[in-house]
Amino acid sequence: RIGFVMGKFVPLREAVIPVMDRGFLFGDGVYEVTAVIEGRLVDNDHHLRRLDRSLAEIGIANPFSIEKWTGVETELMRRNELRNGLIYIQVSRGVAERAFQYKDGLEPTVVMFPQFNRVQSNPVIKTGGRIITVPDLRWARRDIKSTSLLAQVMAKHAVKQAGVNEAWMLDGDEITEGASSTAFIVSASNELITRNLSQDILPGITRRTIIEIAKRHGLTIVERPFSKADVLCATEVFYTSASTIAVPVIEMDGVSVGGGAPGPVFRSLYDAYLQDVMQLPAI
Ligand code: PLP
């Protein structure tokens, strides 16, 4: 695999960054993940705009323009013959003597690499996935896509131990979001419900696109917090992310939810999403 590390295209096995990088020492950085489906970069401008916002929120100057980011992504696809998978981007504040305070003018460290998997042929789409709930142990600025991910590492370890697909995180009685996804339910009155944007959750790019498609389909969308009890009464339950598109949920904490099978709202949104992707020009 060829990565793009500190300005150069290099074999990933050989790539190194200095140990004094603040991303390594403090988790002082942000990241993005964009899906590649049949040679198309999915929702890429939105991902790059969110990267720009994450950087601005922590005071790192964006080292590249949207055109430059897209150019490097495209070149990574070309060099790796990547038609289906993900492109990972990480930007940290840079290399400096270890101190919490940072000097102006550090050169941000950029690391990018591809991951190979077919986002669009996950078998769980047909069978439905299972989730557990875990306490949301993250900090108070979850709208920033920070590389400090210990709470998510712990949540995903619990996912592995439980033998399920994802964890939804609880703030009191309310679901905030998935460990690496946005949470959605369909209510008995056929409303599509997902938590409103705030500093409590990441503004999911797939969330945004799914809401846009749902509006086109004439669904009523309600953006508000919802509880575990709301999930138990929902007719459908699913989560979205760039790396999965969307996954229907049929069980939460060992209890059947969403009618125990992937539902029609999920299916129509998922299919429309893929159809839209295939309208994009391939690279
Ligand atoms: N919420 C969290 C905490 C995430 O880590 C992610 C993606 O990794 C998402 C939501 C989904 O965001 P997106 O649709 O932009 O991939």
In this structure, what CATH number is given to the domain that contains residue 62?
3.30.470.10
How many angstroms is it from 108 CA to the middle of ligand 1? Answer: 23
Give the pLDDT confidence score for residue 98 in this predicted structure: 98
How many angstroms is it from 123 CA to the middle of ligand 1? Answer: 20
Whether residue 267 sits in one domain with residue 129 = yes
Beta strand ranges found along the chain (DSSP E):
2-5, 8-11, 29-37, 40-41, 85-92, 109-116, 129-135, 166-171, 174-178, 182-186, 191-194, 220-223, 226-227, 236-241, 245-252, 255-256
CB 58 within 8 A of CB 23: no
pLDDT tops 90 at residue 279 = yes
From the alpha carbon of 46, which atom of ligand 1 is closest?
15
Whether residue 140 sits in one domain with residue 266 = yes
Cβ partners under 8 Å of residue 27, min gap 6? 146, 147, 148, 149
How many angstroms is it from 181 CA to the middle of ligand 1? Answer: 4
Catalytic residues: 145
- Name the amino acid, one letter, at 89: I
pLDDT in tens, 46-93: 999 999 999 999 999 999 999 999 999 999 999 999 999 999 999 999
Q: Which residues of 223-236 are buried (b: 16+ CB within 10 A; e: fewer)?
A: eebbebebbeebbb
Whether residue 211 sits in one domain with residue 106 = no
CB of residue 204 inside a 6 A radius of ligand 1: yes
User: What are residue 222's phi and psi, to 5 degrees?
Assistant: -120, 120
pLDDT in tens, 9-22: 999 999 999 999 99
pLDDT in tens, 96-143: 999 999 999 999 999 999 999 999 989 999 999 999 999 999 999 999
Q: What percent of the chain has pLDDT over 70?
A: 100
What is the best residue among 87, 241, 243, 273 to mutate for testing ligand 1's pocket, by most ligand atoms within 8 Å of CB? 241
- Mean pLDDT on 234-260: 98
CB of residue 209 inside a 6 A radius of ligand 1: no
pLDDT tops 90 at residue 283 = no
d(CA 26, CA 24): 6
Among residues 83, 118, 153, which one ends one of the domains? 118
Q: Which domain holds residue 41?
A: 2-118
From the alpha carbon of 177, which atom of ligand 1 is closest?
1
Whether residue 229 sits in one domain with residue 98 = no
Whether residue 263 sits in one domain with residue 137 = yes
CB 207 within 8 A of CB 194: yes
pLDDT tops 90 at residue 234 = yes
CB of residue 109 inside a 6 A radius of ligand 1: no
Q: How many CB atoms lie within 10 A of CB 256?
A: 13
How many distinct structural domains can be found in the chain? 2
CB of residue 205 inside a 6 A radius of ligand 1: yes
Whether residue 143 sits in one domain with residue 104 = no
Give the pLDDT confidence score for residue 167 in this predicted structure: 99
From the alpha carbon of 205, which atom of ligand 1 is closest?
15
CB of residue 241 inside a 6 A radius of ligand 1: yes
pLDDT in tens, 81-99: 999 999 999 999 999 999 9
pLDDT in tens, 185-231: 999 999 999 999 999 999 999 999 999 999 999 999 999 999 999 99
Give the pLDDT confidence score for residue 223 in this predicted structure: 98
d(CA 127, CA 252): 15
CB of residue 119 inside a 6 A radius of ligand 1: no
Whether residue 219 sits in one domain with residue 155 = yes
* 245: its two tokens: 């598109």
pLDDT band at residue 145 under the 50/70/90 scheme: very high
How many angstroms is it from 197 CA to the middle of ligand 1? Answer: 13
pLDDT tops 90 at residue 155 = yes
Residue keyed to tokens 């920033």 = 144
Among residues 118, 149, 164, which one ends one of the domains? 118
Give the pLDDT confidence score for residue 75 in this predicted structure: 98
CATH of the domain at 165: 3.20.10.10
Helices first, then strands: H and E counts in the chain = 8, 16
Whether residue 33 sits in one domain with residue 81 = yes
- Name the amino acid, one letter, at 66: I
How many angstroms is it from 33 CA to the middle of ligand 1? Answer: 9
Whether residue 114 sits in one domain with residue 128 = no
Q: Are strands 29-37 and 85-92 parallel, antiparallel or unpaired?
A: antiparallel
Give the pLDDT confidence score for residue 52 in this predicted structure: 98
Among residues 97, 118, 139, which one ends one of the domains? 118
Whether residue 165 sits in one domain with residue 73 = no
CB of residue 30 inside a 6 A radius of ligand 1: no
Whether residue 156 sits in one domain with residue 244 = yes
Whether residue 81 sits in one domain with residue 26 = yes
User: What are residue 201's phi and psi, to 5 degrees?
Assistant: -140, 160
d(CA 235, CA 219): 14
The question of ipTM being above 0.90 is answered as yes
Kindly report the pTM of this predicted structure.
0.98
